[in-house]
Structure 1
Amino acid sequence: MAQRNDRMGAFDAVLYGIEGDPLLRSGIIAFIVLDGPPDREKVTERAERLTRLFPRLRERAVGNSLSPAPPRWETDPNFDPGYHVRWRRLPRGADDIPAALAYAARMGDQDFDHSRPLWEIAILTDLADGRAAVIYKVHHSVADGMGGLAMSASLFDLESDPGDLGPMPPAPVADPAGLIDRFVQAAAFEAAALQETAVGAARAYVHAARGLLTSPIDTTVSGVRTAAAFAAMIAPPGGPKSEWMSDRSLTCAFNMIEVPLEPITRAARAAGVTLNIVFVAAVADAFGTYHRRNGHALSEFRVNMPVNQRTPADAVTGNHWVPARFVLPTDDVDATARLAQLHGLIEDARQDPALELSEVLYKAMALLPAALTERLAAALMKGVDVAATNVPGPPVGVYLCGAKVLALVPFAPKAGAAINIGLLTYDGSVLLGINSDPAAVRDPDEFAACLEEAFAKYAV
């Protein structure tokens, strides 16, 4: 049974609360291509099992606009798995994968029904060569990319017929709180939050005082750096660096790219960098190339990238990351020079001392009135040109209810940016999902081609 006082964490609450501005909707989508239609009976059974293994998928968010306490997760007394899993067919003559991606993009455009649990699955059948596509969408407040992948792993098998999965886990029992209980819980939460903040501040003060006594110069320098970094983090960045791509809309355009993994990892090893550095380098290359080809050359752009903070002890649900925001150059240089150029920049951004204070910032934002939280988040997010994230996927091929998974592509929410590019490694491939705003990216197909060309420079 879900605990009545199981409230959203600070990051979760902010991601949930900012959607009063529809440009900041935060649905995460996994686009899965199968070699054939999944078994309908198995899909029904597996979806039921998934929601019992992860009860958050049976819970709705319950909040009060007059209370500063974050929304509470509460088991939906009207939970209906059939509402969340839908079977669809594309129009006759549709162009296979592009049409399925367009369907997924429309799902990305749409908001959830907030009176129900915040996830849904669409299964598209009758694609070319008998293939099918599965579109799994979950709200970012439910889980981050790593958590969402961990939950969806329960849908996958290492063979087409895994046999008996064992007894079905027990279903959570709905026990909604009454009005008085809700007020009591909210008051208790607010008191605990204030106490936690006061204790944290006192500890920070004692730590700083001790540091000043034992190492005054180092402590002072570190404090100044952290304060400056935190001030830069919370300062509104202004408009996007690309004036040509500054418009925003509610519409999404989805493109996907697949490139071999081994040449990319070989290039990363040769340069002494990570796969993530190669990924960001290719994004910078593509962004600069796309601008130059269209007569809008620019020298730099702003990137927002999540830095994973998840530990083995963390729950699959919820968000365990901090946002790193940094500016990257887009000058036309060769692949080797770009990797060397970006290595230090990205590592500095990932180790920014202000990132340790992100939780404090988001806890404060979560306790503010929704309209103010939304305004602050919009100021931080809408000045970003590109958001980028990467998640490690299954290293070997997997199956979904009897059908082999041919591709597993992540599409992260635009979250105020012109483009959000998600990378997932799967069975020897790098799969990239490009979620672009057509109001900013006039030709999403051309940008996708630029990104594919950029990766080819490193696949040597």
Structure 2
Amino acid sequence: MAVVTENGQMWDLAATWGAEDRMNETEALMWRSENHPRLSSTICSLLILDRAPDWDRFMAANEWATELVPRCRQRVMDPLLPVGPPAWVPDEGFQLDYHVRRTHLPGDGSMAQLLEFAQTQALAPFDRTRPLWEGTLVEGLEGGRAAYLLKLHHSLTDGLGGIQLMSLVQSRTREHTPDKPSAPPRDAGYPSDPWELTATVMGEQVRRIPGVAARAVTGGARMLTGRSSALGEAVRYGSSLRRTLAAPPARSSPLLGDRRGSTWRFQVMECELADLKAAAKLARGSLNDAYVAALLGGLRRYHERHGVAIDDLSTVMPVSMRKTDDPMGGNKFAGAYFAAPIGIEDPVERIAVLRGIVLTLRVEPALDTLSVVAPLLNRVPSKIGQIAFDLVGSAAELSASNVPGVPYPVYMAGARVERVFPFGPLPGVAVMAAMISHNGTCCIGLNIDGDAVEDLDVFMECMQEGLVEVTSVVA
């Protein structure tokens, strides 16, 4: 493998991916509130390869990549008390052959068999004493192809950070890249044990008290003397907070109510990126608007098949909070909840309405509410955080995320990556949909609650029809 970006080889970026020594508060909440499988924080990427790579070369490439990206060899250390986020520390007993495995798919090697294998692997919880990732090379796919299932804990990164990582350790050519650099040394003062971490975090909290108090006094004085707009800003933020915390104004679907999250069903769809972009352009929307419109079209058809009329569907959409100068990796997103216009039959109109909804959501001052409440939830018993996390997740029936992938061919140890299908967890939703645009193809991965959707074949027929409906509007 070679570290690559659109501008060529940039080796130094890999060592800075996920370089923070501590989790942020949102990552800590996902880590401490996890209750498998309903509140799982496992995310997966299923890479379809045009051939099986040479195993020795593949393992050597993974050895190099894990040395270059320090986070791959780090585990989580919790403080003894919930006084602050956990730290990332080196796993002194790191074993690559535990994290990278190899298997052969039995039978005819169909996509259905591969997806069944992937969903089973995804449901297995991580060993929380080791680095939070696992990779499995799957051979024996039909047509001589292979697959690579990469499984990550969400506290490591969000979807965009995962794409950043893969783009850094994939090559632009099949040929072996000689003379790859080694990882630069890191002079990080890792805590030696949970006692030291606890003492360090508590000391940091104490040192922050004077600054917090001074800002509170200064802000209060300005509000009282009228020399600032802080009061008006606080009122606007409070109004936004009420809107963002309120449940989406959508009637619950009678078909998707039994959401236990104990059974995951992986399914995939794909379409040409150019077709989805053309549909978005026709409706003056974005690629994401067209993608969500296709999901809603399929879900409307599914309800119609069961004789259920529905106008709106409670939906959550992750919104990236990353800035251009933010370091790579980690989690920087907020969840935007809204009532999605599932009842609009015209796909162009549906895209246009979604455009207006999304633009309104993105300017909400309190959009990133989770980062505000996460520090509070991280200082109380984890059971309370689990309850809050479950309530937030259950507020929606559909979750839809979209992450831009690489626009050019990439390779892993000589095997070309043909597709990249993403799969997220089911934090209370009935359908978790994720899309990655990879080299001109939109790869859509669906994680479906098997308790909420029992007739999976009918459901997927409807979802495929919804995708075709949107991508065909300019035909």
| TM-score, length of structure 2 as denominator length | 0.88
Cα 1:283/1:326, change in 2 over 3 Å: same
Cα contact 2:19–2:71 (8 A) shared by 1: no
The alignment status of 1:246 with 2:261, answered yes or no, reads no
- SS of equivalent residue, structure 2 residue 34: helix
The alignment status of 1:78 with 2:90, answered yes or no, reads no
Q: Give the partner amino acid of 2:315.
A: V
Cα contact 2:293–2:354 (8 A) shared by 1: yes
Cα contact 1:159–1:399 (8 A) shared by 2: yes
1:427 is matched with 439
- 1:263 equivalent among 271, 275, 278: 275
The alignment status of 1:283 with 2:295, answered yes or no, reads yes
Cα 1:6/1:331, change in 2 over 3 Å: same
- SS of equivalent residue, structure 1 residue 163: coil
Q: Give the partner amino acid of 1:228.
A: S
Cα contact 1:305–1:323 (8 A) shared by 2: yes
Gap runs ≥5 in structure 2: 1-14
- 1:391 equivalent among 386, 403, 417: 403
Cα offsets for 1:181-203 (capped at 9, x unmatched)? 13311312433565676566567
Cα contact 1:5–1:185 (8 A) shared by 2: no
Moved more, 265-274 or 250-259: 265-274
Identical counterparts, % of pairs: 29
The alignment status of 1:131 with 2:142, answered yes or no, reads no
**How many residues of Structure 1 are paired with residues of Structure 2 in the alignment?**
455
Cα 1:87/1:215, change in 2 over 3 Å: closer
Q: Distance in 2 between matches of 1:171 and 1:128?
A: 43
- SS of equivalent residue, structure 1 residue 421: strand
1:310 is matched with 322
The alignment status of 1:177 with 2:188, answered yes or no, reads no
2:177 is matched with 163
Q: Distance in 1 between matches of 2:434 and 2:416?
A: 22
- SS of equivalent residue, structure 2 residue 427: coil
Cα 1:456/1:197, change in 2 over 3 Å: farther
Cα contact 2:279–2:348 (8 A) shared by 1: no
Cα offsets for 1:334-366 (capped at 9, x unmatched)? 112212222211211222221154422222222
Q: Give the partner amino acid of 1:407.
A: R
Q: Distance in 2 between matches of 1:209 and 1:165?
A: 65
2:241 is matched with 230
Q: Give the partner amino acid of 2:75.
A: R
Moved more, 360-369 or 141-150: 360-369
Cα offsets for 1:264-300 (capped at 9, x unmatched)? 1122122221101111111222222211212233221
The alignment status of 1:6 with 2:21, answered yes or no, reads yes
Cα 1:17/1:192, change in 2 over 3 Å: farther
Cα 1:301/1:54, change in 2 over 3 Å: same
Question: Deviation at 1:213?
Answer: 4.8
Q: Give the partner amino acid of 2:385.
A: T
The alignment status of 1:412 with 2:427, answered yes or no, reads no
Question: Deviation at 1:310?
Answer: 1.4
Cα contact 1:391–1:424 (8 A) shared by 2: yes
Q: Distance in 1 between matches of 2:358 and 2:410?
A: 33
Cα contact 1:239–1:383 (8 A) shared by 2: no
Moved more, 349-358 or 102-111: 349-358
Cα offsets for 1:20-49 (capped at 9, x unmatched)? 353111111110111110121222122122
2:336 is matched with 324
- SS of equivalent residue, structure 1 residue 245: coil
Cα contact 2:250–2:339 (8 A) shared by 1: no
Q: Give the partner amino acid of 1:160.
A: R
| TM-score, length of structure 1 as denominator length | 0.91
Cα 1:39/1:194, change in 2 over 3 Å: farther
- SS of equivalent residue, structure 2 residue 378: helix
Higher helix share: 1
Cα offsets for 1:218-271 (capped at 9, x unmatched)? x64x64442122134345679982232122232211111110111211221222
Q: CA RMSD in A?
A: 2.9
Q: Distance in 2 between matches of 1:134 and 1:65?
A: 37
- SS of equivalent residue, structure 1 residue 36: coil
Moved more, 146-155 or 182-191: 182-191
Cα contact 2:191–2:197 (8 A) shared by 1: no
The alignment status of 1:454 with 2:459, answered yes or no, reads no
The alignment status of 1:120 with 2:131, answered yes or no, reads no
Question: Deviation at 1:176?
Answer: 5.5
Moved more, 49-58 or 445-454: 445-454
Cα contact 2:79–2:198 (8 A) shared by 1: no
Cα contact 1:239–1:382 (8 A) shared by 2: no
Q: Give the partner amino acid of 2:284.
A: G
Q: Give the partner amino acid of 2:180.
A: G
Q: Distance in 1 between matches of 2:298 and 2:207?
A: 47
Q: Distance in 2 between matches of 1:199 and 1:392?
A: 43
Cα offsets for 1:295-345 (capped at 9, x unmatched)? 233221111111111123322231011111111122142112212222211
Q: Give the partner amino acid of 1:12.
A: E
1:30 is matched with 45
Q: How do 1:324-363 and structure 2 match up within 5 A? A: 324-363=336-375
Cα 1:206/1:424, change in 2 over 3 Å: farther
